[in-house]
A and B are shown apart, each in its own frame.
Chain A
């Protein structure tokens, strides 16, 4: 990775994180719930987009550089694991095991499913 590409990946990660902050804030303002709806939406949509981007890269419609900037950078910074995991434990502490299970394993299943769909659609385009 060239220094310029590395800087571009980091900057894209900053943009992704800011986007996550704004999307989560907007969702929180609209949906008042102790369930982390915002992080769920962010992680599921980001997973679909990275699956799609990876598929397009496999089909050689997207270059390795763009996969790094948009995938590792933008979508990597947009989606997050630490908050999702923290929320799972918080839901357990609130004695909501069903919600904790949905937030933990449900989010994983949904994210992998849409990433697989995106990957398939991306390779199909090639």
Chain B
């Protein structure tokens, strides 16, 4: 497996996977932004997107880890769906920029509530996703999953 000598972020394939997933995740975020509007200045779309994305990423990463080493198809899924789709779907710059706009336009309480609720409920959502991922991805039996060619060198 000579191509593993170069790190993923320096190889065209993995970078393309992340880019494709990131474009899909961004499209989904933009589409939701078109139909879900702020309520009383509260950025409801990004708030919901970030919480859902945090939950699904926790679920995905924990389920993948429980199913085996980060190689082959699991690695492809992690890069495409985790780093790409969910990374592009969720966003931090809109959270901080919207908070900054609220702060400077007199909505200090709303800005604080928005930021703190996102970070605190986001951690709860991540934790919930991880817990669910651990429950559905119990290690017993998963090790005997068909192993694809990329991970043939791993002790299973």
Contacts and interface: CB of A to CB of B under 8 A. Distances in A.
A105 B118 CA distance: 10
A118 to B, nearest CB: 8
A84 B96 CA distance: 13
Contacts, number: 215
B19 A15 contact: yes
Interface in B89-107: 89-97, 99-101, 103-104
B95 A111 contact: yes
Contacts of A89: 58, 123, 126-127, 130
A77 interface: yes
Nearest to A117: B100
Interface residues of B, number: 61
A33 interface: no
Interface in B64-122: 79, 83-84, 86-97, 99-101, 103-104, 111, 115-116, 118-120, 122
Given A21-B83, A78-B93, A13 B104 contact: no
Contact of A14 (B10, B61, B88, B100): B88
B137 interface: no
Interface of B: 7-10, 14-16, 18-27, 29-31, 33-34, 50, 53-54, 56-58, 61, 79, 83-84, 86-97, 99-101, 103-104, 111, 115-116, 118-120, 122-123, 125-127, 130
